[in-house]
Structure formats: structure tokens, C-alpha cells
Amino acid sequence: MRTIPASAALASLLLLPACVSAPDAPPPRQAVPRPSPPPSASAPLPTPASVEWRYRPATPGTWSYRAEGSGSVAAFSSPASGTLLSVRCDPAAGRISVLRTGAGQGSLTIRTSYGATSWPATPGGTGTLAVRAASDTVLDQIAYSRGRFAVEAQGLDTLILPAWAEVGRVIEDCRR
């Protein structure tokens, strides 16, 4: 029997890794997409008229309530513009008057979470006036709208108003 010298066995062990193929090259690096640049300052922003009324900012101001003679009035006033809208009860006639300050034309459109309604209106001394029966269900929709309602008059800015308790109180005063 023939034996292999130890040095030959050792040499064959050292040459054995050379018989293995070279490792595959690493995959090419993927280009990382760069984030798109922010829109330029000159890109037009949506105009308030194109944004649905529910998503527009509320008109700045607050509601107030006061008793007047035999009726009551809720007024929405802005520190910069004064009274913008008033809701007045005439209990003797069973009517509620909504006066939008400013020279609007045509009707008043009331938008609530229940939908939109157009009320005939006439130009008044200080604004556009719509008169409704105290039993009008749209008045309930204003009082119970989800947080806000809108009042639109052609030629005037849309008012986005909070549905606070003052309006509901005037409506209830008129229904007693």
C-alpha cells in the first residue's frame, strides 16, 4: 500500500479552495429616488370659493343673545366688521327674520349638514333680509347642524358660522 506524504496531502488541502468558483459580484446598487421638491411658492392655492364650505375656516367672530321688547335677537359679530348676521324673533307675528349685513342680491342660501336651502330675500336698510315662519324646519337644521352652517348672498362673502346655542334660543323664543 502506498501512502501519500503528509506534505502532498497538505498541499492538496491548500489548493482545494482554489477549485471553487469566485463569488458572484454584488448586485448593482439601486438608485434611490429623490423626493420631489416642494411645490413652488408661485403654485396657485385653491380659492375659498372652490373649497366646499364645510372645509373652509370659520368666519371670525362670536354670537351674542339679547331680549328685545317682546322678542329676542342673536347676532354674530366680528371684531373687525361689526355685526355680520342677526336672527330676530317677532313672536306676535310668529316669524323669524335673518338679516345678512351688506348689499347682497337675490336670495339667502343657507347650508347646513342637512343640505342647502334658498330663501327669498329683499334688500333691507343695512343688508339682505329673509323672513321665515317660526315653524320653518330649516331653522331646526341651522340649530342642529354639525358644528357650523353657512349663509350665502350673491355679491357678499360666504359666512361660515358656528352653530351655537344663541340661534336655537331665538328660535325657541319664537315658538312659545
Q: Render pLDDT for 102-117 as a digit per residue (tens, 0 to 9).
A: 988 889 999 999 999 9
Overall number of domains in the chain: 1
Picking from 80, 164, 95, the residue whose alpha carbon sits closest to that of residue 129 is 95
In a domain, 30, yes or no: no
Sign of CA dihedral 114, 165, 54, 80: positive
CATH number at residue 73: 2.60.40
Q: pTM value?
A: 0.70
In tens, the pLDDT along 23-47 reads: 666 667 776 666 665 555 454 545 4
Strand order, beta sheet including 148-154:
115-119, 105-112, 148-154, 159-162
Dihedral pair phi/psi, residue 170, rounded to 5°:
-65, -40
* pLDDT score of 70: 84
In a domain, 97, yes or no: yes
**Mean pLDDT value across residues 143-163:** 93
Mean per-residue pLDDT over the chain, rounded: 84
**Domain of residue 121, residue span:** 60-175
In a domain, 9, yes or no: no
Query: What is the H or E stretch that residue 9 is in?
Result: helix 6-15
Grid coordinates representing 40 are 413652488
The yes-or-no verdict on residue 1 having pLDDT over 60 is no
In tens, the pLDDT along 68-96 reads: 988 999 999 999 999 999 999 999 999 99
In a domain, 79, yes or no: yes
In a domain, 44, yes or no: no
**DSSP assignment letter at 96:** E
In a domain, 14, yes or no: no
